[in-house]
Amino acid sequence: MRTQIAIVGAGPAGLLLGALLHRAGIDNVIIEQRSPEYVLGRIRAGVLEQVAVDLLDQVGVGRRMHAEGLPHDGFDLVFEGQRHRIDLQGLTGKRVMVYGQTEVTRDLMDHRADVGRTTFYEAQDVAVEGFDGDAPSVSFTKDGVRHSVECDFIAGCDGFHGVSRASVPAGAIRQHEKVYPFGWLGVLADVPPVHHELIYGHTERGFMLASMRSHTRSRYYVQCSLDDHVENWSDEAFWNELRARLPAEDAERLVTGPSIEKSIAPLRSFVAEPMRFGRLFLAGDAAHIVPPTGAKGLNLAASDVGLLARCFEEHYRGNAGGIEHYSALALARVWKAERFSWWFTSMMHRFPENGSFGHHMQLAELSYLVGSKAAQTAMAENYVGLPLN
């Protein structure tokens, strides 16, 4: 098989890239290791920046998002028993959209099926080859038969553990990483949210986040030890711990119920650079990971593929230099998002190893933030998302 762009990975990054390329008239094929059901079963982020919303609208998949998503004009910060609202709309003129990654993926899957572009699911032994020369290809086994997709370029959208980045020679890539000494215990439940906007809490018991996916489905998180295990947490134990970390008025309103999903996610910051190696381009989690504190993971993936699609479009229109700038443009935005996510994580979580001095520095940072319009504006600008370059 021959195509212009072979995309490895059918998560939201790969599917959105495929949709953007289709819109530009660029042929593409997606190769995915997992089944469609597995891809849709991943529980991930639910806060979309305006850039991500605009890209979904551009490819014609925004109808359900606008009908069912929840536009948010701000969020609450809680520390020392007090709550403070960050007015995103008032400070920046922008808002965010609460709409789950699962729904984004479903909409993009449906769009790809409607336009008839090829996707190979359950592709085994995927190999990314020839990207350091003029004849790149992606080979894989499907239903016991070996296939090869020849292409002009390969887009690696296959996540942190995917084959794309792993195929780059070790000497050609620089990796930067920070591993945080805690994780997030998250619960998804069909209960109404405790508040109409998100609540980020810095408490003596650790960080908490009260989030939602809809008016009837909530997503809650509490900071936990990396040594902890989901099996140690009954639903009752989780709700009791969350209630202890919520502000008193929200704790009284908390509606509990059986969990749909419960998991512990470790937190890390990671960047691989550059994001281009010959005819192989990395995007999304294949190139970088952010802590979930600032909801940047899916949004960074969207901005990556937005830039990459634009570079490919320029290339096929005759501007051969377009693709040369992808890595630098993407990394400029990636590092800014990494900084924001690191800062927000460092301010909101408990780091016992930092002692009382470190704890008071966090409180001083929070106090300065809520008392300074300039500081709140800087936070709000980063939270709603910086412009696409």
The strand pairing partners of 259, in sequence order, are 189
- In angstroms, the CA 361 to CA 343 distance is 12
| Amino acid residing at 353 | E
Triad 330, 303, 300: Cα angle to 5°: 85
What Å distances lie between residue 295 and 158, 199, 204, 234, 243, CA to CA?
19, 13, 23, 26, 23
- Return the exposure string of 201-219: e unless at least 16 CB atoms fall within 10 Å of the residue's CB, then b: bbbeebbbbbbbbbeebbb
- In angstroms, the CA 282 to CA 340 distance is 22
The strand pairing partners of 183, in sequence order, are 224, 266
Active site residues: 72, 200, 292, 296, 383
Give the count of beta carbons closer than 10 Å to the beta carbon of residue 326: 23
- In angstroms, the CA 9 to CA 159 distance is 8
Cβ(97)–Cβ(57) below 8 Å: no
